[in-house]
């Protein structure tokens, strides 16, 4: 059985699923996916996301402000905290730093990120980190905020082995692997996956984006996390069953949800 540790169910086009999220969930179940973490990216969209998945016990939630949205969307720490204390919210994020797409918003990204770390520690809920072209600042802010106290994951990881190792060794973080690992010309990422300890890995789809091989060109969905697991198993030279078992155990250990 698999867990999709990071998806955006509220952003999936439901047209091919007869307009019903339950059909997306059913497809995931049929593929052996037992749980999904639906990740928030803005405070404005959180209430709709929460209501959308409320009837599905196999879906947990996170609440946060994505660094690429924080400059142009309403951001209020009190509202974030009010949403984050809900029992169904098992993590804080998606948060972090992205200097690739929006380097001009560094100050506001950093301000938001710092508060998310503070909130994760206050509520004892792990962090979901997005990082791109911001390795040094991401690690520095996690260290300065003592993010090891609440824990977390670097999601959809495409950075260096050195960054992953620092996150694991210094912060006791996990590293989440998406369908990017199956893409052509991602040999460096596969080398990173090969080197990292399985007991610190998670798998994800980041649906509706980044559909893995053999689904390239299609919209992604949680069912496809099984294909991510198969690629990770091939890269590491172990069975899919072992990848499924350990990454599922890792997920429940980190997010402390049932």
Q: What is the DSSP string of 125-192?
A: --EEEEEES-HHHHHHHHHHTTGGGT-EEE-S--S-HHHHHHHHHHH--EEEE-GGGGSTT-HHHHHH
User: Is pLDDT of 72 > 90?
Assistant: no
pLDDT of 79 higher than 70: yes
pLDDT above 80 for 35: yes
Q: Tell me: pLDDT of 256 over 90.
A: no
pLDDT tens-digit series, residues 83-134: 999 999 999 999 999 999 888 899 999 999 999 999 999 999 999 999 999 9
Q: Give the mean model confidence (pLDDT) for residues 198-217.
A: 97
Mean pLDDT, all residues of the chain: 96
Does the pLDDT of residue 5 top 90, yes or no? yes
% of the chain exceeding 70 in pLDDT? 100
What pLDDT is attached to residue 43?
A: 95
Residues 56-84: what's their mean pLDDT? 93
Burial 197-234 (b: 16+ CB within 10 A, else e): ebebbbbbbbbbebbbeebeeeebbbbbbbbbbbbbbe
Residue 258's pLDDT band (cuts 50, 70, 90): low
Four-residue CA torsion sign, 238, 245, 92, 72: positive
Q: Which long-range contacts link 23-27 to residues 24+ away (Cβ below 8 Å)?
A: 24/221, 24/222, 24/223, 25/56, 25/58, 25/59, 25/222, 27/221, 27/222, 27/223
**Look-up of token digits 């596969």:** 190
Token pair for 132? 């791109």
* Token pair 């919209």 in the structure block, residue: 219
Q: How confident is the model at residue 15 (pLDDT cuts 50, 70, 90)?
A: very high
176: pLDDT confidence band, cut at 50, 70 and 90?
very high
Helix (H) or strand (E) holding 7: strand 2-7
Q: Rounded distance, CA 209 to CA 224, Å?
A: 11
Report how far residue 169's alpha carbon sits from residue 189's, in angstroms, rounded to the nearest whole number: 19
Taken as a whole, the chain contains a residue count of: 258
Query: What's the average model confidence in pLDDT over 36-55?
Result: 96
pTM of the model: 0.97
CB atoms under 10 Å from CB of 105, counted, come to: 20
Cα separation of 154 and 163, whole Å? 10
Q: Which of 96, 71, 92, 70 is nearest to 81 (CA)?
A: 92
Q: Which domains does the chain have, with CATH numbers?
A: 2-255 (3.20.20.140)
Confidence of residue 81 (pLDDT cuts 50, 70, 90): very high
> What pLDDT is attached to residue 17?
97
Residue 40 has pLDDT above 70, yes or no: yes
């Amino acid at each position: 059985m698999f867990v999709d540790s990071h998806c955006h169910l509220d952003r999936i086009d439901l047209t091919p699923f007869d307009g019903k999220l339950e059909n997306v969930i059913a497809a995931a179940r049929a593929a052996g996916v037992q749980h999904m973490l639906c990740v928030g990216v803005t405070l404005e969209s959180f209430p709709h996301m929460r209501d959308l998945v409320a009837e599905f016990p196999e879906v947990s939630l996170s609440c946060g402000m994505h660094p690429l949205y924080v400059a142009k969307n309403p951001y209020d720490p009190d509202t974030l905290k009010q949403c984050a204390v809900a029992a169904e919210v098992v993590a804080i994020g998606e948060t972090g730093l992205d200097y690739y797409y929006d380097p001009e918003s560094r100050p506001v990204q950093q301000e938001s990120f710092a508060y998310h770390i503070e909130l994760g520690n206050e509520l004892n809920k792990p962090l979901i980190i997005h990082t791109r072209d911001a390795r040094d600042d991401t690690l520095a802010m996690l260290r300065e905020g003592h993010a090891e106290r609440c824990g977390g994951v670097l999601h959809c990881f495409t950075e260096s082995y050195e960054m992953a190792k620092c996150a694991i060794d210094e912060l006791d973080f996990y590293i989440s692997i998406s369908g990017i690992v199956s893409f052509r010309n991602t040999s460096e990422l596969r080398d990173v996956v090969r080197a990292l300890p399985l007991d610190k890995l998670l798998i994800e789809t980041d649906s509706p984006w980044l559909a893995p091989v053999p689904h390239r060109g299609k919209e992604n969905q949680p069912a496809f996390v099984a294909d991510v697991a198969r690629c990770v198993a091939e890269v590491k030279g172990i069975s899919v069953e072992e990848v499924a078992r350990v990454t599922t155990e890792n997920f429940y250990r980190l997010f402390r949800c049932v």
